[in-house]
Amino acid sequence: MPRTSTRLTFAVLATGAGVFSMLQSLIAPALPTVQHALHTSQSTVTWVMTAYLLSASVFTPILGRVGDLIGRKRTLVGVLAAVAVGCLLAALAPNIGVLVVARVVQGVGGALLPLSFGIIRDEFGALEVSARIAGLSAVIAAGGGVGMVAAGPIVTALDYRWLFWIPVAVVVVTLLIAVRHVPESPRRAEGGVSWTGAVLLSAWLVALLLPLSQAGAWGWGSGRVLGLLGAAVVLFALWLYAESRSRDPLIDLRVMRQPAVWTTNTAALLFGAGMYGIWSFLPGFVQTPHSAGYGFGASVTTAGLLMLPMLIAMFLSGVLSGRLEPVLGAKTLLTAGAALGSLACAVLALWHDRPWQIALAAGVFGLGIGLAFAAMANLIVGSVPAGQTGAATGMNANIRTIGGSIGAAVTSVLVTGRLQPSGLPHESGYTQGFALLAVLCLAAAGAALLVPARRAARLASTTPATGTPEPAAPAARS
DSSP 449-465: HTS-S--HHHHTTB-TT
In angstroms, the CA 381 to CA 379 distance is 6
pLDDT digits (tens, 9 = 90+) for 83-96: 999 999 999 999 99
CA end-to-end span of the chain, whole Å?
A: 17
pLDDT(11) > 70 = yes
- Dihedral of CA atoms 409, 414, 415, 419 in degrees, nearest 10, equals 130
In angstroms, the CA 199 to CA 284 distance is 36
Q: At what angle do helices 6-26 and 162-181 cross, to 10 degrees?
A: 160
In angstroms, the CA 302 to CA 152 distance is 8
Residue 286 near residue 296, CB atoms below 8 Å:
yes
> Would you place residue 97 in the very low, low, confident or very high pLDDT band (cuts 50, 70, 90)?
very high
Count other C-beta atoms under 10 Å from residue 282's C-beta. Answer: 27
Q: Is the dihedral of CA 285, 286, 287, 292 positive or negative?
A: positive
**Percent of the chain's residues with pLDDT above 90:** 32
Q: At what angle do helices 96-106 and 72-92 cross, to 10 degrees?
A: 160
3-state DSSP assignment of residue 469? strand
pLDDT(339) > 90 = yes
In angstroms, the CA 20 to CA 23 distance is 5
Chain centroid to CA 153:
24
pLDDT digits (tens, 9 = 90+) for 369-392: 989 988 998 898 888 887 777 778
pLDDT digits (tens, 9 = 90+) for 280-291: 788 888 888 988
Domains and CATH numbers, the chain: 6-193+248-459 (1.20.1250.20), 194-247 (no CATH)
**Backbone torsions φ then ψ of 469, nearest 5 degrees:** -65, 145
- What's the pTM? 0.80
pLDDT digits (tens, 9 = 90+) for 445-476: 999 999 987 643 343 344 333 333 333 333 33
pLDDT of residue 226: 93
pLDDT digits (tens, 9 = 90+) for 190-211: 667 778 888 898 898 889 888 8
Q: Of 308, 377, 317, 305, whose CA–CA distance to 341 is shortest?
A: 317
In angstroms, the CA 476 to CA 121 distance is 11
In angstroms, the CA 12 to CA 233 distance is 39
Residue 194 near residue 66, CB atoms below 8 Å:
no
Q: Of 277, 432, 258, 263, whose CA–CA distance to 369 is shortest?
A: 277
